Structure 1
Amino acid sequence: MSTPEEDSLTKHQEFRLFLFIVVFLFPILSIVLVGGFGFFVWMAQLILGPPSY
């Protein structure tokens, strides 16, 4: 069984991990994904030409 001290430490660590994910990880991942997609479109247009209708 875990003691109340261990539970509070675990909850504190979980809260810090949550803050890290929300404040750093998700924004960085979103920038990387959007930037990567933009780079992919840019390179595709350089090779294949602009979209035509």
Structure 2
Amino acid sequence: MPVQVSTNEPEQVVRRREWFVFLFLTFVVAPATAVAIVGSYGLAVWIFQMVAGPPTG
């Protein structure tokens, strides 16, 4: 079932808002999420190595 949004906003305003949301997600949220994931993994490895010791070769 398609969702209909009944607004009185002109289509140009809606398109501009959609572009803003797209650019915000692309250039702010996605990179921030990637940095947070990689940083969390690095922190987890660092803490693990403090407890278990460095890797042996």
Bin of the TM-score, shorter chain as denominator length:
0.7 to 0.9
Instruction: Determine the structure 1 residue equivalent to 2:43.
Output: 39
When normalised by structure 2's length, the TM-score is 0.73
Alpha-carbon distance between aligned partners in 2 of 1:20 and 1:36, rounded to the nearest angstrom: 23
Residue identity in the other structure for 1:14: E
Give the structure with the higher percent helix.
1
CA RMSD across the alignment: 2.1
Between the two proteins, the alignment pairs up a number of residues equal to 52
When normalised by structure 1's length, the TM-score is 0.77
Q: Percent identity over the alignment? A: 27
Moved over 3 A (4+): 1-4
Uncovered stretches (5+) of structure 2, i.e. residues with no partner? 1-5
| Structure 1 residues 9-50: Cα deviation after superposition (integer angstroms, max 9, x where no partner) | 111101000001111111111111101100000000111122
